[in-house]
Amino acid sequence: MAALDVDAKKIIKNAFRITKTRGKTALRIRIPGGCLETKHFDLIKKIAEDYGDGVVHLTTRQGMEIPGIAYASIPDVNRSLMPLIQAIEIGSGVTIHDPEKGYPSAGTRNIAACIGSRVCPFANYDTTSLARKIEKEIYPNDFHVKIALTGCPNDCIKARMNDFGIVGMVEPQYDYQRCIGCEACVKNCASQVTGALRMHHGKVIRDKRRCIGCGECILKCPAAAWTRNPVKFYDILIMGRTGKKNPRIAEQFIQWADETVVVSVIKNTYQFIQEHIDRSLPKEHIGYIVDRTGYQVFRDKVLEGVQLNPEARVARHIQWGGVRYSSDAFLSDAV
Protein backbone atom coordinates (compact mmCIF):
# COMPACT_ATOMS: atom_id res chain seq x y z
CA MET A 1 0.00 0.00 0.00
CA ALA A 2 1.61 3.26 -1.12
CA ALA A 3 1.55 6.32 1.11
CA LEU A 4 -0.67 8.18 -1.38
CA ASP A 5 -3.26 5.37 -1.18
CA VAL A 6 -3.74 5.82 2.57
CA ASP A 7 -7.01 7.25 3.86
CA ALA A 8 -5.54 9.31 6.71
CA LYS A 9 -8.85 9.78 8.54
CA LYS A 10 -9.56 6.07 8.46
CA ILE A 11 -6.04 5.22 9.66
CA ILE A 12 -6.21 7.67 12.56
CA LYS A 13 -9.69 6.48 13.60
CA ASN A 14 -8.28 2.95 13.69
CA ALA A 15 -5.70 4.15 16.29
CA PHE A 16 -2.76 4.31 13.89
CA ARG A 17 -0.63 7.44 13.70
CA ILE A 18 0.53 9.26 10.58
CA THR A 19 4.31 9.40 11.07
CA LYS A 20 7.17 11.33 9.49
CA THR A 21 8.50 8.16 7.84
CA ARG A 22 7.01 7.61 4.41
CA GLY A 23 5.02 4.37 4.18
CA LYS A 24 5.19 3.71 7.92
CA THR A 25 2.64 4.13 10.71
CA ALA A 26 2.52 3.59 14.48
CA LEU A 27 -0.09 1.67 16.46
CA ARG A 28 -1.48 3.27 19.63
CA ILE A 29 -2.53 0.74 22.28
CA ARG A 30 -5.10 1.77 24.93
CA ILE A 31 -4.43 0.85 28.55
CA PRO A 32 -7.23 2.47 30.60
CA GLY A 33 -5.94 3.33 34.04
CA GLY A 34 -2.36 2.58 33.03
CA CYS A 35 -2.40 -0.91 34.57
CA LEU A 36 -1.53 -3.88 32.35
CA GLU A 37 -1.07 -7.54 33.29
CA THR A 38 2.36 -8.79 32.30
CA LYS A 39 0.86 -11.71 30.38
CA HIS A 40 0.03 -9.21 27.60
CA PHE A 41 3.65 -8.15 27.17
CA ASP A 42 4.48 -11.14 24.97
CA LEU A 43 1.78 -10.17 22.46
CA ILE A 44 2.91 -6.54 22.35
CA LYS A 45 6.52 -7.65 21.92
CA LYS A 46 5.55 -9.98 19.07
CA ILE A 47 3.64 -7.25 17.21
CA ALA A 48 6.57 -4.83 17.62
CA GLU A 49 9.09 -7.38 16.34
CA ASP A 50 6.99 -8.95 13.57
CA TYR A 51 5.47 -5.77 12.12
CA GLY A 52 7.31 -2.80 13.64
CA ASP A 53 10.92 -1.96 14.27
CA GLY A 54 11.16 -3.78 17.58
CA VAL A 55 10.50 -0.68 19.67
CA VAL A 56 7.62 0.15 22.05
CA HIS A 57 7.15 3.74 23.16
CA LEU A 58 5.48 4.38 26.54
CA THR A 59 3.30 7.41 25.86
CA THR A 60 2.59 10.35 28.14
CA ARG A 61 -0.99 9.08 28.44
CA GLN A 62 0.15 5.65 29.71
CA GLY A 63 -0.60 3.85 26.49
CA MET A 64 1.90 2.06 24.26
CA GLU A 65 2.89 3.01 20.75
CA ILE A 66 4.51 0.65 18.27
CA PRO A 67 6.26 2.53 15.43
CA GLY A 68 7.69 1.33 12.14
CA ILE A 69 4.60 -0.56 10.91
CA ALA A 70 4.01 -0.69 7.15
CA TYR A 71 0.57 0.49 6.04
CA ALA A 72 0.05 -2.82 4.25
CA SER A 73 0.46 -4.64 7.57
CA ILE A 74 -2.38 -2.84 9.33
CA PRO A 75 -4.99 -5.61 8.80
CA ASP A 76 -2.56 -8.25 10.11
CA VAL A 77 -1.63 -6.07 13.09
CA ASN A 78 -5.30 -5.58 13.95
CA ARG A 79 -5.93 -9.32 13.89
CA SER A 80 -2.88 -9.90 16.08
CA LEU A 81 -4.11 -7.24 18.50
CA MET A 82 -7.55 -8.83 18.94
CA PRO A 83 -6.75 -10.85 22.12
CA LEU A 84 -5.58 -7.66 23.86
CA ILE A 85 -8.72 -5.75 22.85
CA GLN A 86 -10.89 -8.61 24.03
CA ALA A 87 -9.11 -8.77 27.39
CA ILE A 88 -8.89 -5.07 28.17
CA GLU A 89 -11.75 -3.35 26.36
CA ILE A 90 -14.41 -6.03 25.95
CA GLY A 91 -13.36 -7.48 29.31
CA SER A 92 -14.22 -4.10 30.87
CA GLY A 93 -17.67 -4.11 29.30
CA VAL A 94 -16.85 -1.97 26.25
CA THR A 95 -18.87 -2.86 23.16
CA ILE A 96 -16.66 -3.48 20.12
CA HIS A 97 -18.54 -5.28 17.38
CA ASP A 98 -15.57 -6.48 15.33
CA PRO A 99 -12.38 -6.65 17.44
CA GLU A 100 -10.58 -8.35 14.55
CA LYS A 101 -10.48 -4.93 12.86
CA GLY A 102 -8.68 -3.28 15.76
CA TYR A 103 -9.71 -0.17 17.62
CA PRO A 104 -12.89 1.47 16.27
CA SER A 105 -11.94 5.00 17.33
CA ALA A 106 -9.10 7.05 18.78
CA GLY A 107 -10.58 10.52 19.44
CA THR A 108 -11.08 10.07 23.16
CA ARG A 109 -7.58 9.54 24.48
CA ASN A 110 -6.45 6.78 26.83
CA ILE A 111 -7.63 7.36 30.41
CA ALA A 112 -4.51 7.95 32.50
CA ALA A 113 -4.28 7.23 36.22
CA CYS A 114 -1.86 7.20 39.12
CA ILE A 115 -1.23 3.82 40.73
CA GLY A 116 -4.08 4.38 43.20
CA SER A 117 -5.01 2.71 46.47
CA ARG A 118 -3.93 -0.74 45.29
CA VAL A 119 -0.40 0.38 46.15
CA CYS A 120 -0.15 3.98 47.38
CA PRO A 121 -0.98 4.77 51.05
CA PHE A 122 -1.99 8.35 50.12
CA ALA A 123 -4.51 7.30 47.45
CA ASN A 124 -8.17 7.44 48.42
CA TYR A 125 -9.58 5.09 45.76
CA ASP A 126 -8.80 2.39 43.21
CA THR A 127 -7.97 4.52 40.17
CA THR A 128 -7.67 1.59 37.75
CA SER A 129 -11.11 0.29 38.65
CA LEU A 130 -12.76 3.68 38.10
CA ALA A 131 -10.85 4.18 34.85
CA ARG A 132 -12.30 0.92 33.51
CA LYS A 133 -15.83 1.97 34.56
CA ILE A 134 -15.46 5.28 32.74
CA GLU A 135 -13.98 3.52 29.70
CA LYS A 136 -17.09 1.35 29.51
CA GLU A 137 -19.31 4.44 29.28
CA ILE A 138 -17.33 6.58 26.83
CA TYR A 139 -15.41 4.28 24.49
CA PRO A 140 -15.41 4.02 21.52
CA ASN A 141 -15.83 7.69 20.67
CA ASP A 142 -14.33 10.10 18.16
CA PHE A 143 -14.64 13.26 20.24
CA HIS A 144 -11.34 14.66 21.52
CA VAL A 145 -11.48 14.33 25.32
CA LYS A 146 -8.67 13.69 27.80
CA ILE A 147 -9.35 12.22 31.25
CA ALA A 148 -6.94 11.57 34.12
CA LEU A 149 -7.54 10.02 37.53
CA THR A 150 -5.48 10.71 40.63
CA GLY A 151 -5.93 9.04 44.00
CA CYS A 152 -5.39 12.14 46.14
CA PRO A 153 -4.73 15.90 45.88
CA ASN A 154 -0.98 15.25 45.48
CA ASP A 155 -2.02 14.82 41.83
CA CYS A 156 0.88 12.67 40.67
CA ILE A 157 -0.85 12.10 37.30
CA LYS A 158 -1.17 15.88 36.65
CA ALA A 159 -4.96 15.66 36.44
CA ARG A 160 -5.20 19.45 36.29
CA MET A 161 -3.73 19.37 32.78
CA ASN A 162 -6.68 17.36 31.43
CA ASP A 163 -10.24 18.05 30.29
CA PHE A 164 -11.40 16.03 33.28
CA GLY A 165 -9.28 15.45 36.35
CA ILE A 166 -10.81 13.15 38.96
CA VAL A 167 -9.18 13.62 42.36
CA GLY A 168 -9.85 11.18 45.19
CA MET A 169 -11.22 12.69 48.41
CA VAL A 170 -11.86 11.21 51.83
CA GLU A 171 -14.06 12.67 54.55
CA PRO A 172 -12.11 12.19 57.80
CA GLN A 173 -14.11 10.99 60.78
CA TYR A 174 -13.00 12.36 64.15
CA ASP A 175 -13.25 10.42 67.42
CA TYR A 176 -13.13 12.99 70.21
CA GLN A 177 -12.47 10.36 72.84
CA ARG A 178 -9.42 8.83 71.12
CA CYS A 179 -7.71 12.15 70.42
CA ILE A 180 -4.68 12.75 72.70
CA GLY A 181 -4.20 16.37 71.62
CA CYS A 182 -0.72 15.83 70.19
CA GLU A 183 -1.41 18.26 67.30
CA ALA A 184 0.37 16.04 64.75
CA CYS A 185 -2.54 16.35 62.32
CA VAL A 186 -2.91 20.09 62.87
CA LYS A 187 0.77 20.85 62.29
CA ASN A 188 0.92 18.66 59.19
CA CYS A 189 -2.21 20.24 57.70
CA ALA A 190 -0.81 23.72 58.35
CA SER A 191 2.57 22.99 56.76
CA GLN A 192 1.65 20.56 53.97
CA VAL A 193 -2.01 21.12 53.10
CA THR A 194 -4.54 23.94 53.59
CA GLY A 195 -4.64 24.61 57.32
CA ALA A 196 -8.12 23.15 57.69
CA LEU A 197 -7.47 21.93 61.26
CA ARG A 198 -7.04 23.89 64.49
CA MET A 199 -6.90 23.13 68.20
CA HIS A 200 -9.64 24.18 70.59
CA HIS A 201 -9.50 23.26 74.27
CA GLY A 202 -7.12 20.39 73.55
CA LYS A 203 -9.14 18.87 70.74
CA VAL A 204 -9.21 19.31 66.95
CA ILE A 205 -11.74 21.25 64.89
CA ARG A 206 -11.93 20.74 61.13
CA ASP A 207 -12.97 23.59 58.84
CA LYS A 208 -15.09 21.86 56.19
CA ARG A 209 -14.69 24.78 53.81
CA ARG A 210 -10.92 24.43 53.74
CA CYS A 211 -10.68 20.64 53.89
CA ILE A 212 -9.75 19.16 50.51
CA GLY A 213 -10.21 15.57 51.62
CA CYS A 214 -6.58 14.52 51.25
CA GLY A 215 -6.68 12.16 54.26
CA GLU A 216 -3.25 13.14 55.61
CA CYS A 217 -4.72 13.74 59.07
CA ILE A 218 -5.72 10.07 59.12
CA LEU A 219 -2.22 8.95 58.20
CA LYS A 220 -0.53 11.24 60.73
CA CYS A 221 -2.68 10.46 63.78
CA PRO A 222 -0.82 8.13 66.24
CA ALA A 223 -3.99 7.40 68.22
CA ALA A 224 -6.32 6.53 65.33
CA ALA A 225 -8.62 9.40 66.29
CA TRP A 226 -9.06 10.11 62.58
CA THR A 227 -10.57 7.36 60.41
CA ARG A 228 -11.93 7.13 56.86
CA ASN A 229 -15.55 7.54 55.95
CA PRO A 230 -16.22 4.36 53.93
CA VAL A 231 -18.11 6.47 51.36
CA LYS A 232 -15.74 7.57 48.59
CA PHE A 233 -15.82 11.11 47.26
CA TYR A 234 -14.21 12.88 44.31
CA ASP A 235 -13.20 16.36 43.24
CA ILE A 236 -14.07 16.89 39.56
CA LEU A 237 -11.71 19.31 37.82
CA ILE A 238 -12.50 20.48 34.30
CA MET A 239 -11.01 21.95 31.15
CA GLY A 240 -7.29 21.96 31.80
CA ARG A 241 -5.11 21.65 28.71
CA THR A 242 -1.68 21.93 27.17
CA GLY A 243 -1.11 22.92 23.55
CA LYS A 244 -0.24 26.08 21.67
CA LYS A 245 -3.45 28.03 22.29
CA ASN A 246 -4.00 29.25 25.87
CA PRO A 247 -2.69 26.30 27.92
CA ARG A 248 -4.13 26.31 31.43
CA ILE A 249 -4.85 24.21 34.50
CA ALA A 250 -8.26 22.71 35.24
CA GLU A 251 -10.53 24.35 37.79
CA GLN A 252 -12.86 22.77 40.35
CA PHE A 253 -16.31 21.93 39.00
CA ILE A 254 -17.84 19.64 41.65
CA GLN A 255 -16.40 18.89 45.08
CA TRP A 256 -17.39 15.88 47.21
CA ALA A 257 -19.09 14.11 44.30
CA ASP A 258 -19.78 10.39 44.54
CA GLU A 259 -18.75 7.88 41.88
CA THR A 260 -22.13 7.86 40.15
CA VAL A 261 -21.95 11.62 39.67
CA VAL A 262 -18.41 11.37 38.26
CA VAL A 263 -19.35 8.79 35.65
CA SER A 264 -22.65 10.47 34.75
CA VAL A 265 -21.11 13.91 34.25
CA ILE A 266 -18.37 12.57 31.99
CA LYS A 267 -20.90 10.54 30.00
CA ASN A 268 -23.21 13.56 29.60
CA THR A 269 -20.29 15.63 28.31
CA TYR A 270 -20.36 13.67 25.07
CA GLN A 271 -23.96 14.76 24.48
CA PHE A 272 -22.90 18.35 25.16
CA ILE A 273 -20.17 18.00 22.53
CA GLN A 274 -22.61 16.43 20.09
CA GLU A 275 -24.88 19.46 20.38
CA HIS A 276 -22.29 22.25 20.38
CA ILE A 277 -19.21 21.15 18.43
CA ASP A 278 -18.22 23.32 15.45
CA ARG A 279 -18.50 20.85 12.58
CA SER A 280 -16.80 23.21 10.15
CA LEU A 281 -13.50 22.34 11.88
CA PRO A 282 -11.55 19.08 11.41
CA LYS A 283 -11.86 18.62 15.18
CA GLU A 284 -12.63 20.82 18.16
CA HIS A 285 -11.24 20.25 21.63
CA ILE A 286 -13.86 20.12 24.40
CA GLY A 287 -12.20 23.00 26.26
CA TYR A 288 -12.66 25.37 23.33
CA ILE A 289 -16.30 24.35 23.01
CA VAL A 290 -16.84 25.28 26.67
CA ASP A 291 -15.00 28.57 26.12
CA ARG A 292 -17.31 29.35 23.21
CA THR A 293 -20.61 28.35 24.78
CA GLY A 294 -19.86 29.43 28.34
CA TYR A 295 -19.55 27.55 31.61
CA GLN A 296 -23.26 27.79 32.49
CA VAL A 297 -24.33 26.08 29.25
CA PHE A 298 -21.85 23.28 29.88
CA ARG A 299 -22.83 22.94 33.54
CA ASP A 300 -26.57 22.76 32.87
CA LYS A 301 -26.17 20.18 30.12
CA VAL A 302 -23.84 17.78 31.89
CA LEU A 303 -25.96 17.87 35.06
CA GLU A 304 -29.16 16.95 33.20
CA GLY A 305 -30.67 13.90 34.88
CA VAL A 306 -27.80 13.66 37.38
CA GLN A 307 -28.83 13.06 40.97
CA LEU A 308 -26.24 14.89 43.03
CA ASN A 309 -25.33 13.28 46.32
CA PRO A 310 -26.11 15.51 49.36
CA GLU A 311 -22.43 16.33 49.97
CA ALA A 312 -21.73 17.52 46.41
CA ARG A 313 -20.96 21.18 45.81
CA VAL A 314 -21.15 22.63 42.27
CA ALA A 315 -19.19 25.73 41.29
CA ARG A 316 -21.46 28.69 40.50
CA HIS A 317 -18.88 30.30 38.25
CA ILE A 318 -15.50 29.30 36.82
CA GLN A 319 -12.90 31.72 35.51
CA TRP A 320 -10.02 30.01 33.74
CA GLY A 321 -6.64 31.65 33.51
CA GLY A 322 -3.76 30.22 31.56
CA VAL A 323 -1.11 31.49 29.20
CA ARG A 324 -2.02 34.41 26.94
CA TYR A 325 0.67 35.06 24.38
CA SER A 326 1.74 38.63 23.66
CA SER A 327 4.63 38.90 21.23
CA ASP A 328 4.80 42.66 21.84
CA ALA A 329 6.17 41.97 25.32
CA PHE A 330 9.37 40.62 23.76
CA LEU A 331 9.84 43.21 21.01
CA SER A 332 12.83 45.52 21.22
CA ASP A 333 14.10 48.36 19.07
CA ALA A 334 17.61 46.98 19.50
CA VAL A 335 19.03 45.35 16.38
pLDDT of residue 212: 96
Candidates 135, 29, 129, 17; CA nearest to 82 is: 29
Report d(CA 314, CA 235) in Å as an integer.
10
pLDDT of residue 282: 87
Q: What are phi and psi of 301, to 5 degrees?
A: -70, -45
The pLDDT tens digits of the residues spanning 107-119 come to 999 999 999 999 9
pLDDT of residue 92: 92
The pLDDT tens digits of the residues spanning 55-74 come to 999 999 999 999 999 999 99
Candidates 245, 246, 241, 263; CA nearest to 254 is: 263
Q: Average of pLDDT values for 123-129?
A: 97
The pLDDT tens digits of the residues spanning 185-237 come to 999 999 999 999 999 999 999 999 999 999 999 999 999 999 999 999 999 99
The pLDDT tens digits of the residues spanning 151-196 come to 999 999 999 999 999 999 999 999 999 999 999 999 999 999 999 9
CA of 273: how far to CAs of 186, 238, 269, 287, 308, in Å? 44, 14, 6, 10, 22
pLDDT of residue 329: 60
pLDDT of residue 334: 54
Domains and CATH numbers, the chain: 3-101 (3.90.480.20), 112-169+232-314 (3.30.413.10), 172-228 (3.30.70.20)
The pLDDT tens digits of the residues spanning 233-260 come to 999 999 999 998 899 999 999 999 999 9
Q: Strand 64-70: give its sheet, edge to edge.
A: 16-18, 24-29, 64-70, 57-58
pLDDT of 284 strictly over 60: yes
pLDDT band at 6; cut points 50, 70, 90? confident
pLDDT of residue 265: 98
pLDDT of residue 323: 85
pLDDT of residue 164: 98
Report d(CA 303, CA 178) in Å as an integer.
41
Tell me the HSE value of 325 on the side-chain side, using a 13 A CA sphere.
6
Q: Average of pLDDT values for 144-151?
A: 97
What does pLDDT average to over the chain?
Answer: 94
For residue 322, how many other CB atoms are within 10 A of its CB?
13
pLDDT of 95 strictly over 60: yes
pTM of the model: 0.93
Percent of the chain predicted with pLDDT > 90: 92
pLDDT of residue 326: 67
Q: What are phi and psi of 64, to 5 degrees?
A: -125, 145
Q: Is the peptide bond before 140 cis (omega within 30 degrees of 0)?
A: yes
